[in-house]
Chains A and B, each alone.
Chain A
Amino acid sequence: MNRSTLDLWVGIFVTIGIAAILFLALKVGNLLTVTNAPGYRVEAAFDNIGGLKVRAPVKAAGVVVGRVEQIRLDSHTYQAVVSMNIDRGFEFSKDTIASILTSGLLGEVYVGLSAGGDTKMLANGDRIAKTQSAIVLEKLIGQFLFDKAASGPAPASGTPANAANAANAASAK
């Protein structure tokens, strides 16, 4: 084959190959909008984190402002300590409330931040004092059944023992 034709074909091949990598990076991976700028780290302790995972989003008013970096168990308080990396450019007041939320019934678990009114802002290494744990669906159902049994048309006695029996009966069904 002619030398320059060969060069042309190799050039075309390499060009569309690099274009494909760029397509993957920009259109599929959305490299442009996701800034990997190092943000600042804040921590929050939760009684129960439910299904929260590392790399889960941190959202404020539904907007992604950071990612969960690390989850560990504090062996003194038996609370889960979640370290979050918040993008630089988003500032939150000291009395921000962090809660663990789920988008939809089966959706992903994320950390929601609701800003407070303090004039001081969270800085690198700070800990969010006010937190709200994940809602565990099983506990919620258990509580609902218990309430239902306690307030239902059960025999008038209404002692706690009877109520507990009624709840057991309800859950056995």
Chain B
Amino acid sequence: MTTQALAGVFRRIGGATLDSIARLGFAARFSMALVTHLPGAFRRLSLTLREIYFAGVLSLVVILVSGLFVGMVLALQGFDVLQRYGANDSLGVLVALSLVRELGPVVAGLLFASRAGSAVTAEIGLMKTTEQLSAMEMMAVDPLARVVAPRFVGGVISMPLLAALFSTLGVYGAYLVGVKLIGIDSGSFWANMQAAVDFRYDIVNGIIKSVVFGTAVSAIAVFEGYNARPTAEGVSTATTRTVVGSSLAILALDFVLTVFMFRGVH
């Protein structure tokens, strides 16, 4: 009896290991196929535009409102600490650097993953469940080129724009709170910010981050959708996996990129 139970445990561990290895193999094969189909997304431009609309334009409201509020809160909290050291004028620097380097790409990425990534996964997963993908294959239309690649490209294009909008609205929110509400001098707010923020070092690195996050989120979203079990439960599991997986991927990638970009001494 005990030997049987023990054997069952080992069988389950072995099965899970084999499953995850097979999944990894499928992910690798899927990524390769996706890369070869990327030029197709630009040939079918109208499909890609449609995906930019769903991933980018429909995410605008949540990104803009969150950016504004994050900037305003950052200004209030930053002012609270900075005024103890008489460094009120550095508020612009604090807000701009934290938004452009970190918060813009990361928070916009997290919002993008839960707003657009989950939608993409659910859509592709449901297409698979209702056998639309198989029907396309029957008609000699490659679902990778027709369904997956435009969604991937749409996400990769939308994400840097959304992150830049998030940072911009954040800086504007900080300006509203810092200058209009608290009454920091507008000149020193902007001048200190401009003196401290470097285009190549801060802004370009922030944009690179957002491109990497956009690629990661879109890749995870289309993969989970394509790999979903064709049941209602499978689609819901895949959607959850997209949100959790891409959020963790964003935070982990952010750490790795930050280590390479901002090591303090450079």
Interface-side segment among A20-28, A39-47, A84-92: A20-28
Q: Which of A40-57 contact B (CB under 8 A)?
A: 53-55
| B199 lies within 8 A of chain A by Cβ | yes
What's the nearest-Cβ distance from chain A to residue B69, in Å? 17
A10: chain B residues within 8 A (beta carbon): 49, 52-53, 56-57
- Check B190 against A27 for contact (C-beta < 8 Å): yes
| B231 lies within 8 A of chain A by Cβ | no
Interface-side segment among B23-31, B125-133, B157-165, B238-246: B157-165
- Check A7 against B49 for contact (C-beta < 8 Å): yes
- Check A28 against B100 for contact (C-beta < 8 Å): yes
A: which residues have CB within 8 A of B?
A: 1, 3, 6-7, 9-10, 12-14, 16-18, 20-21, 23-25, 27-31, 33-34, 36, 53-55, 64, 106
How many interface residues does B have (CB within 8 Å)? 34
- Check A29 against B199 for contact (C-beta < 8 Å): yes
What's the nearest-Cβ distance from chain B to residue A76, in Å? 23
Known: A30-B194, A36-B200. A6 touches B266 (CB 8 A): no
Q: Which of A23, A29, A33, A54 contacts B198 (CB 8 A)?
A: A29
Majority secondary structure of chain B interface residues (helix, strand, loop or mixed): helix
| B265 lies within 8 A of chain A by Cβ | yes
Q: Top 7 A-B pairs ranked by shortest CB distance?
A: A17-B161, A30-B194, A20-B164, A20-B168, A29-B199, A21-B164, A20-B165
Known: A6-B53, A29-B194. A17 touches B164 (CB 8 A): yes
A33: chain B residues within 8 A (beta carbon): 194
A34: chain B residues within 8 A (beta carbon): 198-199
Q: Which of B50, B96, B161, B200 contacts A6 (CB 8 A)?
A: B50
| B68 lies within 8 A of chain A by Cβ | no
Q: Which of A13, A20, A36, A64 contacts B57 (CB 8 A)?
A: A13
Known: A6-B49, A21-B207, A25-B203. A13 touches B161 (CB 8 A): yes
| B76 lies within 8 A of chain A by Cβ | no
What's the nearest-Cβ distance from chain A to residue B219, in Å? 21
Q: List 6 A-B contacts (CB under 8 A).
A: A1-B53, A13-B52, A20-B167, A24-B100, A36-B200, A54-B265
Chain A CB within 10 Å, residue with most, of B52, B161, B202? B161
Chain A CB within 10 Å, residue with most, of B96, B199, B203? B199
11 additional A-B residue pairs with CB within 8 Å, beyond A10-B53, A17-B162, A30-B194: A6-B49, A13-B56, A13-B158, A20-B167, A20-B168, A21-B203, A24-B164, A24-B167, A24-B203, A53-B265, A106-B85
Known: A6-B49, A13-B60, A54-B266. A18 touches B161 (CB 8 A): yes
Q: How far is the CA of A13 from the CA of B51 in the complex (A)?
A: 12
Q: Which of B54-80 contact A (CB under 8 A)?
A: 56-57, 60
| B193 lies within 8 A of chain A by Cβ | yes
| B46 lies within 8 A of chain A by Cβ | yes
- Check A29 against B203 for contact (C-beta < 8 Å): yes
Q: Scoring B residues 144 to 170 as 1 if CB is less than 8 Å from chain A, else 0, what string do you get?
A: 000000000000001011101101100
